[in-house]
């Protein structure tokens, strides 16, 4: 192999997300908008699971709310013919994530599971990732947050509490994925079974609009959902290759 | 300048270093006071409280700090770049003004670097952007335009510091021979044993030209790279290929205006009337006119590209920029940077000092607005309408902006008392040799030997 072949091959590897030839898992979430009632249970569950601070009224008014998953509401038309539609928006765990290329210190990167992860310790707070993210799902800690007693007693010990000046975002509840992988290893299984792991939002969803799983496993629930003709990705034209797939709502107008 | 003698140049420049009036001390005292009160105090408060002290919020995560960073980097552009280009083209009129122009470069780069520290969330870890071997075995992300930025600015800062220092060595030696006390000790160190032998002049000339050639592409690359911070994103109205030339032209434009301002102040308050003349203002005015026309053209092109793309996001971004919440600022920018500089067509305008000062300040206000708009209008309106927002700077940010001007002034005021702010030896080159009639071809020029 001459130099140019080696270079080409190396370059191709470098172009792959996270430099991996192949991911161990391809965690995917499908969100069925036909089933979604917009009840915001997922937002609350996420807040409790991931130690997301309640920023308070003043910061909320400034537009600094922290919601790793949020319900976006869109109105069409004027009252009384107004139509309301909503869409849960969370980190899309893009395979070609714009946020990963821009971080100067590699605080956000692609891990072996194909997840877009954020290392709080490494983050220096340039906020460039939030600018580059077209989904606006990265949240910045504008100041230190504290939990009044007895709320500090319910902080999740598996998740860190982030300090000021650090960017954070949805991790697909990576702490649960890690636990499931450890348990699979202890049981002598090679892989996590479908249904072994659920992020907090999926677990909470009363209508089962959210489904989570490994799309590398053709038998998984999520793989079957992906075959639905209603499936689409948000801002697909930007070619960020998101791992969150939405199933279109079909109403009377079509 | 035919009245001037060699001795006059030495006397005037050394006087500017040694004789310090109460006016200078008042200015320095105010500058330091404002720097401490308006820059460092709010910054320390922000370090303690978090970036929340500024007005940034969820969609608009970048604000005036980044706008100031681009502004100061832009202001730094004309000094060294102009000095290098004019040196290589043997322009006579460069010689009286280049020292202070280069100092402007140096200090605005320093302020720009400080603005980065103010901007990031955890400035105490900012050294992680440097590639250095460490026990964590971690390297920075070489794909990141922000990393290129750190390297480009660091290289430019190093290059222009060496350039200004090297050009000043003969002057340090000249001042060394005419001062006493602690000043003499300082200049002995700074002049590096300069004796003015033929060999030393030869080496200086060679190295100076070499550095000048080196710095020109560096200066162009620095602002191109700053523009990539924005252009490499997929944010509507930022993701444009025109951004690199747009930023470079804008930088040289605001830098030239900055030089005019500094020239005016130096001329007026340092008694350099005989050195900085109408010729300099005339030439800088012509340069500003050309740059303003290119800048206007690129602005038209930017709007055209947005319209021609036909995508809803780009159209919305353009519409928002021109007719949205920030529209008054947009039209202010057009008035100050595209319309007002057309006055420079008249030679009478270019050669009058006070109108040039007013125009140069107006251009820089307009250019600051340009940077502010680039950051805010694009970020507050991106793809998902639910995440649209509004960004208004907080009091802390306004105070830090004023403080950064004071910081720049402080550095400059200290500079004029240490560095000869007009190049002694190069001004002498433009003068007739004493006891000798001027040759027919004019004044003999110093040519660097290659």
HSE-up (13 A, CA, CB side) for residue B387: 29
As a whole number of Å, the end-to-end CA separation of chain A is 56
How does pLDDT run across B349-407, given as a tens digit for each residue?
Answer: 888 889 999 999 999 999 999 999 999 998 988 899 888 888 999 999 999 999 999 99
- Those residues whose C-beta lies under 8 Å from the C-beta of residue B164, and which sit 6 or more positions away, are B80, B99, B102, B103, B105, B106, B419
**Whose CA is closest to A199, among A244, A230, A152?**
A244
Report the chain A residue with the minimal C-alpha distance to residue B118.
A126
Backbone angles phi, psi at B445, to 5 degrees: -105, 150
CB-based contact A127 B121, cutoff 8 Å: yes
Burial class (CB in 10 A: 0-12, 13-18, 19+), A133: buried
Chain-chain contact of B390 with A63 (C-beta, under 8 angstroms): yes
Q: Does residue B144 sit at the A interface (CB-CB below 8 Å)?
A: yes
Residue B449 has pLDDT above 60, yes or no: no
* Alpha carbon separation from A149 to A154, A155, A159, B196 (Å, rounded): 9, 11, 19, 76
Residue A212 pairs with which residues in a beta bridge?
A: A29
Report the 10 Å Cβ neighbour count for A141.
26
- Buried/exposed code over B111-121 (b: 16+ C-beta within 10 A; e: otherwise): bbbbbbebbbb
- Residue B199 pLDDT greater than 50, yes or no: yes
Give pLDDT, residue B182: 86
Supply the pTM of this predicted model.
Answer: 0.90
As a three-state string, the secondary structure of chain B is CCCCCHHHHHHHHHHHHHCCCHHHHHHHHHHHHHHHHHHHHHHHHHHHHCHHHCCCCCCCCCCHHHHHHHHHHHHHHHHHHHHHHHHHCCCHHHCCCHHHHHHHHHHHHHHHHHHHHHHCCCHHHHHHHCCCCCCCCCCCCCCCHHHHHHHHHHHHHHHHHHHHHHHCHHHHHHHHCCCCCHHHHHHHHHCCCCCCCHHHHHHHHHHHHHHHHHHHHHHHHHHHHHHHHHHCCCCCCCCCCCHHHHHHHHHHHHHHHHHHHHHHHHHHHCCCCCCCCHHHHHHHHHHHHHHHHHHHHHHHHHHHHHHHHCCHHHHHHHHHHHHCCCHHHHHHHHHHHHHHHHHHHCHHHHCCHHHHHHHHHHHHHHHHHHHHHHHHHHHHCCCCHHHCCCCCCCHHHHHHHHHHHHHHHHHHHHHHHHCCCCCHHHHHHCCCCCCCCCECCECCCCCCCC
Does B120 contact A139 at a Cβ distance shorter than 8 Å? no
Instruction: Kindly indicate the confidence band of residue B442, based on its pLDDT and cuts at 50, 70 and 90.
Output: low
- CA-based nearest residue to A73, from A24, A111, A38: A38
Q: What share of chain A is helix, strand, coil (3-state, %, to 5)?
A: 30, 15, 55
Q: Kindly determine whether residue A103 and residue B57, on different chains, have CB atoms separated by under 8 Å.
A: no
Check residue B296 and give its pLDDT: 95
Query: Does A91 reach chain B within 8 Å, measured CB to CB?
Result: no
CA distance B306 to B321: 11
Q: What is the distance in angstroms between the Cα of B320 and the nearest Cα belonging to chain A?
A: 18
Interface size, chain A vs chain B, as Cβ–Cβ contacts under 8 Å: 139
Burial class of residue A203 in the structure, from the number of CB atoms within 10 Å of its CB (0-12 exposed, 13-18 middle, 19+ buried): middle
Domains of chain A: 22-247 (3.30.70.20)
DSSP three-state, residue A168: strand
Chain B touched by A65 (CB under 8 Å): yes
Min Cα–Cα distance to chain A from B60, Å? 8
Contact B383 A102 (CB under 8 A): no
List the pLDDT tens digit at each of the 254 positions of chain A.
788 888 888 777 766 666 677 788 899 999 999 999 989 999 999 999 999 998 889 999 988 989 999 999 888 888 888 888 889 999 999 988 999 999 999 999 888 888 999 999 999 999 999 999 999 999 999 999 988 888 888 899 999 999 999 999 999 999 999 999 999 999 988 889 888 899 999 999 999 999 999 999 999 999 999 999 999 999 999 989 899 999 998 876 65
Contacts of residues B329-335 at CB distance under 8 Å and 24 or more positions apart, as own/partner, are B329/B369, B329/B372, B329/B373, B330/B369, B330/B373, B330/B377, B332/B366, B332/B369, B333/B366, B333/B367, B333/B369, B333/B370, B333/B373, B334/B299, B335/B366
CB atoms within 10 A of CB A17: 17
Which residues numbered 37-56 in B keep a CB inside 8 Å of some CB on A? 49-53, 55-56
ipTM surpasses 0.85: yes
Neighbours of B275 (CB within 10 A): 23
Q: Share the mean pLDDT of chain B.
A: 87
Q: Are B128 and B140 in contact (CB under 8 A)?
A: yes
A194: helix, coil or strand? coil
Q: Which residue has the tokens 């975002």?
A: A169
Q: Are strands A244-247 and A231-232 parallel, antiparallel or unpaired?
A: antiparallel
User: Which chain A residues are Cβ-neighbours of B150 within 8 angstroms?
Assistant: 104
Choose among B140, B379, B387: nearest Cβ to A104: B140
Q: Which chain B residues are closer than 8 Å to A235 by Cβ?
A: 383
The residues in B 58-77 lying below 8 A from A, measured between CB atoms, are 58-59, 61-62
- Ramachandran region of residue B310, left (φ > 0), alpha (ψ -120 to 50) or beta? left
Q: Is B385 on the interface with A (CB under 8 A)?
A: yes
pLDDT of residue A167: 94
- CB within 8 A of B56, min separation 6: which ones? A127, A140, A142, B62, B63, B391
Q: In whole angstroms, what separates CA B57 from the centre of its chain? A: 29
Structure tokens given for B202: 């030869």
Task: Quickly state the pLDDT bin for B450 (edges 50, 70, 90).
Answer: very low
B40/B406 Cα distance (integer angstroms)? 11
For B308, other C-beta atoms within 10 Å of its C-beta total 9
How confident is the model over B318-354, as pLDDT tens digits?
999 999 899 999 999 999 999 999 999 999 988 888 9
pLDDT score at B1: 43
Q: What is the pLDDT of residue B326?
A: 92
Which residue of B52, B143, B386 is in closest CB contact with A72?
B386
In chain B, the residue whose alpha carbon lies closest to the alpha carbon of A166 is B121
Contact yes or no for A242/A98 (Cβ under 8 A): no
Angle at B398 between CA B260 and CA B365, to 5 degrees: 25
Burial, A195: exposed, middle or buried (Cβ in 10 Å; 0-12, 13-18, 19+)? exposed
């Amino acid at each position: 192999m001459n130099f140019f072949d080696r270079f080409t091959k190396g370059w191709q590897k470098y172009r792959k997300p996270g430099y991996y030839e192949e991911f161990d898992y391809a965690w995917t979430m499908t969100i069925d908008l036909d089933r979604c009632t917009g009840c915001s249970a997922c937002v609350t569950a996420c807040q409790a699971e991931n130690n997301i601070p309640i920023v308070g009224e003043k910061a909320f008014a400034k537009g600094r709310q922290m919601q790793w998953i949020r319900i976006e509401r869109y109105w069409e038309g004027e009252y009384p013919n107004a139509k309301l539609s909503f869409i849960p928006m969370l980190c899309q765990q893009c395979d070609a994530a714009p946020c990963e290329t821009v971080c100067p210190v590699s605080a956000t990167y692609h891990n072996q599971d194909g997840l877009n992860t954020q290392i709080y310790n490494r983050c220096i707070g340039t906020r460039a990732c939030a600018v580059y993210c077209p989904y606006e799902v990265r949240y910045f800690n504008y100041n230190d947050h504290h939990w009044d007693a007895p709320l500090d007693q319910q902080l999740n010990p598996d998740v860190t509490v982030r300090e000021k000046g650090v960017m954070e975002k949805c991790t697909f509840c990576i702490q649960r994925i890690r636990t499931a992988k450890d348990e699979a290893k202890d049981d002598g299984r090679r892989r996590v079974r479908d249904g072994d792991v659920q992020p907090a939002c999926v677990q909470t969803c009363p209508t089962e609009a959210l489904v989570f799983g490994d799309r590398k496993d053709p038998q998984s629930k999520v793989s079957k959902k992906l075959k639905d003709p209603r499936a689409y990705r948000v801002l697909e034209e930007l070619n960020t290759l998101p791992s969150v797939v939405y199933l279109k709502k079909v109403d009377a107008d079509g | 300048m035919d009245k001037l003698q060699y001795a006059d140049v030495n006397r005037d420049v050394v006087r500017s270093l040694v004789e310090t009036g109460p006016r200078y001390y008042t200015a320095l005292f105010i500058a330091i006071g404002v720097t401490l009160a308006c820059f460092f105090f709010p910054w320390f408060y922000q370090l303690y409280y978090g970036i929340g002290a500024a007005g940034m919020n969820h969609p608009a995560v970048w604000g005036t700090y980044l706008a100031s960073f681009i502004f100061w980097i832009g202001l730094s552009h004309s000094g060294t770049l102009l000095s290098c280009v004019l040196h290589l083209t043997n322009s006579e009129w460069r010689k009286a003004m280049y020292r202070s122009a280069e100092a402007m470069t140096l200090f605005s780069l320093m302020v720009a670097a400080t603005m980065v520290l103010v901007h990031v969330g955890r400035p105490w870890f900012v050294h992680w952007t440097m590639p250095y071997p460490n026990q964590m075995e971690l390297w920075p992300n070489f794909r990141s335009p922000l990393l290129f930025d750190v390297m480009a600015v660091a290289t430019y800062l190093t290059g222009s510091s060496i350039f200004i220092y090297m050009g000043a060595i003969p002057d340090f030696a000249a001042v060394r021979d005419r001062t006493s006390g602690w000043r003499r000790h300082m200049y002995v160190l700074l002049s590096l044993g300069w004796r003015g032998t033929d060999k030393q002049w030869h080496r200086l000339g060679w190295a100076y030209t070499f550095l000048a050639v080196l710095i020109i592409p560096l200066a162009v690359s620095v602002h191109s790279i700053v523009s990539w911070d924005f252009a490499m994103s997929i944010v509507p109205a930022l993701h444009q290929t025109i951004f690199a030339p747009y930023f470079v032209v804008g930088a040289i434009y605001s830098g030239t205006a900055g030089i005019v301002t500094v020239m005016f102040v130096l001329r007026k308050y340092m008694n350099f009337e005989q050195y900085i003349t109408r010729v300099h203002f005339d030439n800088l005015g012509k340069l500003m006119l050309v740059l303003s026309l290119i800048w206007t053209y690129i602005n038209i092109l930017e709007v055209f590209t947005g319209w021609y793309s036909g995508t809803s996001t780009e159209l919305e971004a353009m519409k928002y920029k021109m007719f949205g919440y920030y529209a008054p600022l947009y039209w202010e920018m057009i008035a100050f940077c595209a319309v007002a500089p057309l006055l420079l067509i008249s030679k009478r305008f270019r050669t009058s000092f006070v109108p040039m000062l007013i125009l140069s300040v107006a251009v820089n206000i307009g250019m600051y607005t340009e940077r502010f708009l680039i950051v805010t209008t694009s970020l507050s309106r991106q793809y998902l309408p639910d995440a649209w927002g509004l960004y208004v700077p907080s009091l802390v940010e306004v105070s830090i902006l004023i403080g950064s001007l004071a910081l720049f002034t402080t550095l400059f005021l200290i500079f004029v008392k240490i560095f000869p702010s007009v190049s002694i030896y190069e001004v002498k080159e433009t003068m007739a040799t004493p006891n000798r009639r001027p040759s027919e071809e004019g004044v003999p020029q110093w040519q660097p030997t290659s």
